[in-house]
Amino acid sequence: MEQNQHSPQQSFIPAGWIGGFSTQPPEQPYPKSELLSSLPFEGNMDHIPSINRMLRAKWPEFSWEVIKGDPTTRKYQMFAPDISRLGYDNTGRVWSIICPQQGVYFPTVGVTLNVEVTVTGNRGWINELASVEDLFAADVKIQPTIWFSSDSDSGFLWELLQKLNKKWSDKLPLSKSKGIRLSTSNEDGTNDIIQVRMGEYPDYPFPERANHWGEYAWAVANLAVTIGSINSTSDSKVDDFNSKVMELFNLGSGNLLQENNILIWNLWAGSPELVNQEEWADHANYWRHSIDVNHRPPEGEGTSITDINGAPFDVSEISLGVKIAEFAAWIAWQLA
């Protein structure tokens, strides 16, 4: 992360900070690779009693190419605030990194397509008192998960999905546990360890509107993920269904999760906060309820998809409607 050296904000460090974890062993250069590599990957919910402090990603700025390899198609979008959190103890050991769900609501058919960048493992350290070169580093393993939910059981498309799910022995992504799962790797595709490092992403410029020092950001970190293929369910019919769902999702999102695309983001964080451990444990459920019931994130909306100059990404309502109709017709054909 890179601390703001020019903002009038004074960094606020809550009481209880002890520190010291990042100095084991001492005098390591950033990102303290020896320390990081010595740590096991932890599950996000495994050590909640150890989490005393957190950073919230108040401004998560994402970027990707609609057409892989064509930089003129690069898009930008700020996702909803508080989409991600870093949880750690008073010594600075990171125990949890959370990326909750987003929801894409299709009002004409009454269903929501839920997307979660599930963190399956994390390790890291933070030093709240460090200089700009040595504040924070972490490694994560992630798996995007996609699934449907509905307003009610009476919606036309949801009824079709329920019927097909029953016919296919409860294998469709109508819950998170049965969700479509995508593989991921680091930016160069060499392994599945994603590095979270200080500063804005260095290789692609973000527009000035995606800079949040003027809004009293305390720090910024970046990461890059290569989107992989859809994990097979070992059922060819379900795999075909899942491919069609991803086509629908990528049409509406500008190929956000297109295979082999590189998704990058800058996580602009507020200053450290103390943790209510009960609230932390309920955080993911809080997001899930808000999206399902209200079709909007609980802390407010992010921004629309735009290019670097602010021109909006335009998804033709006709094209999207045709794709939804084709999908519904395909389901009906499977039920015939």
Dump the DSSP string for 42-84. Answer: B-TTS-GGG--EEEEEEEEEEEEESSTT-GGGEEEEE--TT--
Rounded Cα gap, residues 39 and 41, in angstroms: 7
Considering the entire predicted model, what is its pTM? Answer: 0.89
Query: Does pLDDT of 290 surpass 70?
Result: no
What pLDDT digit, counting tens, does each position of 12-71 carry?
Answer: 789 999 999 999 889 899 999 999 999 999 998 899 999 999 999 899 999 999 999 999
pLDDT band, very low/low/confident/very high, at 167 (cuts 50, 70, 90):
very high
Q: Give the lowest-confidence range in 98-112, 205-219, 296-310, 311-325.
A: 98-112
Strand partners, 104: 113
Rounded Cα gap, residues 113 and 85, in angstroms: 23
Rounded Cα gap, residues 7 and 214, in angstroms: 6
Rounded Cα gap, residues 302 and 310, in angstroms: 14
Give 107 or 207, the one with higher predicted confidence.
207
Strand partners, 154: none
Q: Tokens 């395909």 — which residue?
A: 330
State the average pLDDT for the chain.
Answer: 88
pLDDT of residue 82: 78
Q: How many CA atoms lie within 13 A of 41 on its CB side?
A: 12
